[in-house]
C-alpha cells in the first residue's frame, strides 16, 4: 500500500520549515529527533502535552499523548510531541502558590502558541488535565487557528472511606470538621490517605470537568471526551482517535474559527448550566471567546440562566461524581436532550468534521432507572445556578453560584479581611458566626495578583456547619469544589478602588439572587466619602511573572486575560 500524498495546502506551515535547498539545516536538526525523508512530505502535527508529576490530574497524559502520536501516524502525518506546564490548584490551595494558578492559564496559552507557530505545525492535538489546562489550550488553539483537537485527560475515580465515596473536597471539608472538633486527627489522616486513588482530575462537577464538558459542547473535543475516566481503555482509544481526527481536519481545512462561533459558545454555557458547573466557567469562557474573537458578555450567562434548568445531581452540591455519569452514558445524552428541547443549536461544526446534530444522532438516552441527570420536568433547580449579580458593591458584575439549597437571599454584617489567610484563620478559630458576610478582598486579578480560589475558606465554613448561615464574597474566585452562599469575581476589584475596598466591619450587605443584586447598605454620599479617603495598597510583587501579570491583566468581567 503506497503512502498517502499531501499537497502544500495540507502542509501550509511545515512546508516553509522543511521544503527547499535552503531549509537543509532545519531538516538536519529534525533528522536528529527522528524524521525520515518521507516525514518531510507529511503534515506535521504538534502534540501539546501537559504531562508532569506535579499533580495526579496530569500524571498519565504522556501515555495518552503517545496514543495520539500513533493515531496521527496511522492517518499519514508526522507527530511531534512537546510539553507545557501544569500547576496543581488542589496542592497550592490556601497558600501564596495559588496566585500562580490563573497565571498558568496564560503561560500555557502563550507556550503552545509559541511552539506551534515557531515550529510550523500544520495542526495540533492539545491535552489538558488540571483546571487551567483546558482554557489555556483552547485560547492557544483559537489564536493559532490551525486544525486542532482538544483531549481531556479524564476524571479521577472516587476514593472510598467507610464505604462512602470521597474526593479532594472531602479532605478540605474534613479540615473544618476537625477544627470544630467533630472528627479526630486520626480520622482526618485516614480521609487524607484514601481520597485520591490515582490519576485523573478532581471527580465532581468542579472546574476541570466543567471546562471539559464546555469544550465538548463547543465542538472542539470528540463526542463524550469530557466524561471518560482517566484510567480507562476508552480514554486511550479516544486519544488515538484524536490523532486521526486532526489529520481529517487538516485534509478538509477545518479550523477552530469554523467551530468556535458565538452559537457554539452559547451551547457551551447551556451545558454548563444544566450540569451545575463551576463559576470558573464564566471567567474561562469569556477568555476563550476573546481569543476566538467572539463577542461574549456576562449578560449572555444571565439570559441563558433564565431558561436553562440545573439537571445534574453532581458534586459539590449534589451526590454524584463524573465517574457515575460516565457509567450511564456521559455528557452526550444530556446534550441530545437539550438539543431536542431547543436549548442548544445542533448546526454547529465540530472536530469530527460533522455537525453537533450529526454527532448526537445515534446517542442513546440515559437508562430509565438513574437519578444523576433529572428529567426536564423535575429539575434540581428550574433555572441556572450561575447568577450574575450587580449593585453598588459590584457595578461591573459578580458571579454567584446558587444551587438553591442555600436559599436565594442573604443579609448580614460584614467581617472584612484583606487576604485569604486572614479569613481562614478566623473561620477556623470560630470568630465567624451565623449572620456574618465574610468579605475577602485584595485577591482580584491585579490585587492578588492572580485571583486565588477560596476553597479553603468555603470548605472551612461548610466543615463548621455554617453553610446556610454565612455568606462569603470576594474579588477573588472559587474552586469548582466550593459550595454554600458564595459570590466571587466582584468587579471592579478592591485593588483598583472598587466599592469592595470601602466596606468596613459591621456594614450591612444584602444579596438577592432573585433580583440579581448585591448591595452594601450605604448611601452614595458615604461611599463617595470613603472613596476619597481610600489609598491604594502597594503592589505585592515588583518583579517576576506575578508582577508582569498584574500590569497586563484585565478585569474578571472580561475574562481576566493579559492580551
Residues that constitute the known binding site: 57, 89, 131-132, 453
Indicate the annotated binding residues for Mg(2+). Answer: 89, 131-132, 453
* Residues ≥6 apart with Cβ < 8 Å to 132: 86, 87, 89, 101, 102, 104, 105, 108
Nearest residue to 496 via CA among 453, 557, 436: 557
Closest to 72 in 3D by CA, of 44, 112, 114: 44
DSSP secondary structure code for residue 318 in this structure: S
Annotated binding site for [2Fe-2S] cluster: 57
* Known catalytic residue at 514: no
Distance CA 374, CA 281 (A): 22
Q: Is the dihedral of CA 554, 556, 561, 563 positive or negative?
A: negative
Backbone angles phi, psi at 167, to 5 degrees: -150, -170
Q: Rg (Cα) of the chain, in Å, rounded?
A: 24
Among 86, 88, 201, 479, the one annotated catalytic: 479
398 burial (CB, 10 Å; 0-12 / 13-18 / 19+) is buried
Helix (H) or strand (E) holding 236: helix 233-252
How is residue 404 written as a grid cell? 438553591
Phi, psi (deg, nearest 5) at residue 131? -45, -55
Query: Which has the closest alpha carbon to 56: 197, 208, 234?
Result: 197
Element (H, E) at 185: helix 185-194
3-state secondary structure of 38: helix
How do strand 517-520 and strand 508-512 relate by DSSP bridges? antiparallel
What cell numbers appear for 528 in the block?
463617595
The CA-CA-CA angle for residues 377, 381, 386, to 5°, reads: 135
- Looking up cell 442573604 gives 410
Active site residues: 479
Amino acid at each position: 500500500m503506497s503512502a498517502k500524498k499531501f499537497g502544500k495546502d495540507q502542509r501550509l506551515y511545515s512546508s516553509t520549515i522543511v521544503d527547499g535547498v535552503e531549509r537543509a539545516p532545519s531538516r538536519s536538526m529534525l533528522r536528529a529527533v527522528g524524521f525520515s525523508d518521507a516525514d518531510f512530505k507529511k503534515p506535521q502535527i504538534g502534540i501539546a502535552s501537559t504531562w508532569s508529576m506535579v499533580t495526579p490530574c496530569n500524571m498519565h497524559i504522556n501515555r495518552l499523548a503517545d496514543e495520539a502520536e500513533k493515531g496521527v501516524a496511522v492517518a499519514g502525518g508526522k507527530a511531534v510531541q512537546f510539553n507545557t506546564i501544569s500547576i496543581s490548584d488542589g496542592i497550592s490551595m490556601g497558600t501564596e502558590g495559588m496566585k500562580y494558578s490563573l497565571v498558568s492559564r496564560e503561560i500555557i496559552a502563550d507556550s503552545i502558541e509559541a511552539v506551534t507557530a515557531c515550529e510550523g505545525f500544520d495542526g495540533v492535538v492539545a491535552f489538558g488535565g488540571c483546571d487551567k489546562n483546558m482554557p489555556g489550550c483552547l485560547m492557544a488553539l483559537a489564536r493559532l487557528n490551525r486544525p486542532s483537537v482538544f483531549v481531556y485527560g479524564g476524571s479521577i475515580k472516587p476514593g472510598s472511606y467507610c464505604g462512602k465515596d470521597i474526593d479532594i473536597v472531602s479532605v478540605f471539608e474534613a479540615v473544618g470538621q476537625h477544627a470544630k472538633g467533630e472528627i479526630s486527627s486520626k480520622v482526618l489522616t485516614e480521609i487524607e490517605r484514601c481520597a485520591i486513588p490515582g490519576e485523573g482530575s478532581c471527580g465532581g462537577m468542579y472546574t476541570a470537568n466543567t471546562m471539559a464538558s464546555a469544550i465538548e459542547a463547543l465542538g472542539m473535543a470528540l463526542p463524550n471526551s469530557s466524561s471518560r475516566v482517566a484510567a480507562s481503555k476508552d480514554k486511550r482509544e479516544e486519544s488515538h482517535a484524536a490523532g486521526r481526527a486532526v489529520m481529517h481536519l487538516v485534509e478538509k481545512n477545518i479550523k477552530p474559527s469554523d467551530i468556535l462561533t458565538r452559537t457554539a459558545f452559547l451551547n457551551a454555557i447551556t451545558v454548563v448550566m444544566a450540569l451545575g458547573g463551576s463559576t470558573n466557567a464564566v471567567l474561562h469562557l469569556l477568555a476563550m471567546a476573546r481569543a476566538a474573537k467572539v463577542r461574549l458578555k456576562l449578560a449572555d450567562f444571565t439570559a441563558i440562566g433564565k431558561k436553562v434548568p440545573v439537571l445534574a445531581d453532581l458534586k459539590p452540591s449534589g451526590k454524584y461524581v463524573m465517574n457515575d455519569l460516565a457509567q450511564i452514558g456521559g455528557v452526550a445524552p444530556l446534550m441530545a436532550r437539550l438539543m431536542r428541547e431547543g436549548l442548544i443549536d445542533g448546526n454547529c461544526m465540530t472536530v469530527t468534521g460533522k455537525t453537533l446534530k450529526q454527532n448526537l444522532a445515534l446517542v442513546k438516552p440515559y437508562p430509565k432507572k438513574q437519578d444523576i441527570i433529572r428529567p426536564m420536568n423535575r429539575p434540581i433547580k428550574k433555572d441556572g445556578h450561575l447568577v450574575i449579580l450587580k449593585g453598588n458593591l459590584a457595578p461591573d458584575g459578580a458571579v454567584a453560584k446558587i444551587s438553591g439549597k442555600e436559599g436565594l437571599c442573604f443579609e448580614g454584617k460584614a467581617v472584612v479581611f484583606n487576604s485569604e489567610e486572614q479569613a481562614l484563620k478566623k473561620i477556623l478559630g470560630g470568630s465567624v458566626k451565623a449572620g456574618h458576610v465574610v468579605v475577602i478582598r485584595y485577591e482580584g486579578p491585579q490585587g492578588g495578583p492572580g485571583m486565588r480560589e477560596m476553597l479553603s475558606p468555603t470548605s472551612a465554613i461548610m466543615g463548621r456547619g455554617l453553610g446556610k448561615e454565612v455568606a462569603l464574597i470576594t474579588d477573588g474566585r472559587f474552586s469548582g469544589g466550593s459550595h454554600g452562599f458564595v459570590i466571587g469575581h466582584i468587579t471592579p476589584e478592591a485593588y483598583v478602588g472598587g466599592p469592595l475596598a470601602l466596606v468596613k466591619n459591621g456594614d450591612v450587605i444584602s444579596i438577592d439572587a432573585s433580583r440579581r443584586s448585591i448591595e452594601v447598605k450605604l448611601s452614595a454620599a458615604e461611599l463617595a466619602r470613603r472613596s476619597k479617603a481610600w489609598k491604594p495598597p502597594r503592589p505585592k510583587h515588583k518583579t517576576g511573572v506575578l508582577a508582569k501579570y498584574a500590569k497586563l491583566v484585565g478585569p474578571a468581567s472580561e475574562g481576566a486575560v493579559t492580551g
